[in-house]
Structure 1
Amino acid sequence: MTLSSRMIQVKGRSTEVLTAGQQEPLVFLHGGGIVEGFDPFVPLAGRFTVTAPLMPGYGATELDPPLAGREQVIEDIRDALDELGIQRTVLVGHSLGGWRAAAFAARFPERVSELVLAAPFGMDVPEHPLPDMMAMSPAERLAALTNDPSIWEGRLPTGPDPEFEAARGREGQSIMRFHPGPHDPDLPGLLSSVSAPTLLLWGEDDKTIPAGHADAWHKALPHSSVKTFPATGHLLFHERSEAIAAITDFVRSSRA
């Protein structure tokens, strides 16, 4: 089984959606880069209908009109779910997608049955500062994202590739339009409105968003638990199949 692609219209924007499975909905909100792909989520399609709407500027989703700020990001998620006919879902977000998922769950708690946040962005934790990814070389950036360099095999060009660079450029433009900066100062207050049972997943060797951020999230979320994975970096779903299995286990246990 693979994730299939289709296009939907979200308030006039052509939006690419990846899907697999025919069970209850699980929506995945991706992070700031998607070059690593969505392959790890295919096994979940035996238990859920996995749905991944791509943000503006990502994949075949149109870049314009821009999303300017958190509220428009939340509304774009709502509008995509409305178009897909998903009224309530298990919601999973990774990295920047974790920030989006948490903000959506705070604004629309009735639409999220369980929330899974994998190394989410957004908290200000001075004792565990985020690295300056923009100051890194491309090789340093890849090394900061994962402990397993084999993840990149077949996903990165071996020479000049204008199409690849243009796609990464569109992603960067999209982020710059709504990104709150080094952190989201309003986030801790928002998280108190999240009513869904929440699982925080983190790689203990995450060099992009350090695992030291997990405690701040755990304290801010009313109904949260934390699961970490040793010797694991930021792309934990690609590095650890156990991180994918933890999603199903969490949903099952929260309903027991």
Structure 2
Amino acid sequence: MATLAEEYLETDAGKVQLFRGGDGQPLLYLHSAAGEAVNPTAEQLADNFAVVAPVFPGFGESEGIDRIEDMEDATFHHLDLLDRLGFDSVPVVGLSLGGWMAAELATRYPERVSKMVLVNPVGLYIDGQPVKEIFGRTPAELAEDMFADQSHPMAQMMHMLSEFRGDVGQQIEVPMELVLPIWKSMSATAKLGWDPYLHNPKLRKRLHRVSAPTLVIHGAQDTLAPKAISEAYAADIPDARLVDVDGGAHLVTLEKPDEVAALIREFVS
């Protein structure tokens, strides 16, 4: 399995951290609010594609969140990235928040996205079936929605973080390198999805503008983003289909990388 090497790229927003690996056809991976630019699915895809996984401003070591106010700014940031990477038209894979970003890019600038894969995407509001709240919940509570298998190492870490209490007698020492990325990720996500909550009310009526063949992947055990959202993307994008991945929850690219990478590989190739 290929590895993704860290690089930095100067953009209009500032210096952006990105991870790149593999050879062949370029493929852009847009991470979720968890900030998983490096993940086993992207690494497997680097066996077949030249994968580029940028870290969005405010996440990781990427600068420029002060220049991002909404999803329109995020779209222009990704256009700038594509230009600086030399990608005229590229397959785009996005998980959750990254899926929303991919859809915004593909509706506004369809010529820049050759194929699109949306994995447990947010970005749409379905009456009576909203995305479950992520702000103000404990890491352990989020882990229950993010992972079908609570023994996954990242789920275990999230449960461990929730054991911290303000009572000095119950405190455990939590390394700052674990806490800071979560705080930064939530802060950056809030700038894009606080109000309206994790959706763009105008996006659904624009989905007919997407010209890229689209694969929507839904983790069958996802309790964070309702399947109805994935179904709406698949129904309203002209050339789209929906597949379920059993045994995976919201972060299905971490839980079921073999299955997800195989689906993406077959679709993009």
TM-score w.r.t. structure 1 length? 0.91
Is the alpha carbon distance of 1:5 and 1:36 closer, same or farther for their aligned partners in structure 2, counting shifts above 3 Å? closer
Q: Which stretch has the larger CA shift, 170-179 or 40-49? A: 170-179
Is the counterpart of residue 167 in structure 1 residue 181 in structure 2? Answer: yes
Corresponding residue for residue 35 of structure 2:
34
Q: Deviations over 1:123-163 (max 9, x none)?
A: 11124232222343221111110112314178667732223
**Aligned with 1:113: secondary structure?**
strand
Letter in 1 for 2:154: W
Corresponding residue for residue 212 of structure 1:
228
Q: Matches of residues 1-256 of structure 1 in structure 2 within 5 Å?
A: 1-11=2-12, 13-34=14-35, 37-149=38-150, 150-152=152-154, 159-179=173-193, 181-182=196-197, 183-240=199-256, 241-252=258-269
Q: Do the aligned residues in 2 keep the contact of 1:195 with 1:222 (CA within 8 Å)?
A: yes
Q: How many residues align?
A: 252
Is the alpha carbon distance of 1:36 and 1:137 closer, same or farther for their aligned partners in structure 2, counting shifts above 3 Å? farther
Q: CA deviation at 1:64?
A: 4.0
Q: Do the aligned residues in 2 keep the contact of 1:57 with 1:174 (CA within 8 Å)?
A: yes
**Partners of 2:38 and 2:90 in 1: CA distance:** 22
Q: Do the aligned residues in 2 keep the contact of 1:119 with 1:202 (CA within 8 Å)?
A: yes
Q: Which consecutive residues of structure 2, in runs of 5 or more, have no partner in the other structure?
A: 162-172
Identity %: 29
**Partners of 1:43 and 1:194 in 2: CA distance:** 27
**Partners of 1:131 and 1:203 in 2: CA distance:** 15
Q: Which consecutive residues of structure 1, in runs of 5 or more, have no partner in the other structure?
A: none
**Aligned with 2:215: secondary structure?**
strand
Corresponding residue for residue 165 of structure 2:
none
Q: Do the aligned residues in 2 keep the contact of 1:19 with 1:50 (CA within 8 Å)?
A: yes
Q: Do the aligned residues in 2 keep the contact of 1:31 with 1:93 (CA within 8 Å)?
A: yes
**Partners of 1:36 and 1:152 in 2: CA distance:** 14
**Partners of 1:160 and 1:69 in 2: CA distance:** 32
**Partners of 2:153 and 2:87 in 1: CA distance:** 31
Is the alpha carbon distance of 1:79 and 1:169 closer, same or farther for their aligned partners in structure 2, counting shifts above 3 Å? same
Letter in 2 for 1:172: M
**Partners of 1:134 and 1:173 in 2: CA distance:** 9
Is the alpha carbon distance of 1:115 and 1:12 closer, same or farther for their aligned partners in structure 2, counting shifts above 3 Å? closer
Q: Which stretch has the larger CA shift, 57-66 or 99-108? A: 57-66
Q: Do the aligned residues in 1 keep the contact of 2:37 with 2:54 (CA within 8 Å)?
A: no
Q: CA deviation at 1:238?
A: 1.7
Q: CA deviation at 1:110?
A: 1.0
Q: Do the aligned residues in 2 keep the contact of 1:114 with 1:196 (CA within 8 Å)?
A: yes
RMSD: 2.0
**Partners of 1:134 and 1:178 in 2: CA distance:** 13
**Partners of 1:71 and 1:36 in 2: CA distance:** 21
Q: Do the aligned residues in 2 keep the contact of 1:63 with 1:174 (CA within 8 Å)?
A: no
**Aligned with 1:174: secondary structure?**
helix
Q: CA deviation at 1:28?
A: 0.5
**Partners of 2:140 and 2:155 in 1: CA distance:** 14
